Amino acid sequence: MANARRITPIPLSSSLETHNTNTTFSSLLSSPPNPTSSSSFSLIRRKTHLFPLVLLFLFFIFWVLIRTPPIWFSLSNQPQEQHRPILVELSKRKSGVSDNFIAYSSATHSNFFFNDRRGWLLNPVTAARESGLSGGALDCRSVHVGEIRPGGVRGNHRHHNCSETFIIWGAKTLFRVEKNHVIGKDYEEFIVAADEVAVATSPRGTAHALVNMDHKLITYFLGCQDSLLTNGSSTDFQVWKDL
């Protein structure tokens, strides 16, 4: 005789709870996203995508600024009339132009002071003549080139039989030239800045001296004389005792 299967009844409340749970979970999965949160996320994504473009724009502006010289620099480099640059004299007299000294900025360009990306180039005789200096050598029968290390002195002598023209550059350098008309002393002094090129003249019978006043840089100079010096009998040495 077959055994009768016993069927256990399922409570109605449990069945309903299970059905409600499944329905709620399914509705969450199938419900559309919140439009407010979706729009905020899209806005953030758009801003994130724009960030590289903003950086690229800022980099372009910076590149333009460093490639384009300022207005004041462009104006200062425009061709001008033949004006002499202002000189700085150690004795602190009123700035002006000497007839034995003139200094040019390394950015200067004129019909005798050639300057480009390679650097500057000039002819000492032409530079002295075109600068309006007096007493310099009109030709170079004797030429000497040298250096002056920090604290060193060149010259401090007087040639009686030749005039001389100097080109001075490289470091802060003092140029002294004999001048009898200066009240209280018998010379004028001028400073050549490290970024300048100076043209200086010393007429026949006039003492001159060059002093490197820089602590690190070396002064370079070229001297052009209009006659040959055969012996020291025509030269007075140690003219100034304070040098």
Predicted confidence (pLDDT) per residue in 152-176, tens digit: 999 999 999 999 999 999 999 999 9
Is the Cβ–Cβ distance between 144 and 174 less than 8 Å? no
Distance, first Cα to last Cα, the chain: 142
pLDDT at 56: 81
pLDDT of residue 163: 94
* Longest Cα–Cα distance in the chain: 157
Q: How confident is the model at residue 217 (pLDDT cuts 50, 70, 90)?
A: very high
Q: What integer pLDDT is reported at residue 27 of this predicted model?
A: 52
Listed in sequence order, the residues at least 6 apart from 145 whose beta carbon sits closer than 8 Å to its beta carbon are 220, 221, 222, 223
**pLDDT exceeds cutoff 60 at 219:** yes
Ramachandran class of 18: left when φ > 0, alpha when ψ lies in -120 to 50, beta otherwise: alpha
> Using CA atoms, how far apart are residues 79 and 110, in angstroms rounded to an integer?
9
Which fold would CATH assign to domain 101-229? Jelly Rolls (2.60.120)
pLDDT of residue 177: 95
Residues in contact with 77: Cβ distance below 8 Å, sequence separation at least 6, in sequence order: 69, 107
- pLDDT tens-digit readout, 109-135: 666 777 788 888 888 888 888 888 889
| Residues 213, 101: Cα–Cα separation, whole Å | 18
Specify the DSSP class assigned to residue 94: -
Residues of the chain with pLDDT > 70, as a percent, come to 62
Provide the residue ranges of all domains of the chain, joining segments of one domain with +.
101-229
Mean predicted lDDT score pLDDT of the chain: 75
Dig out the tokens for 119 from the structure.
């650097």
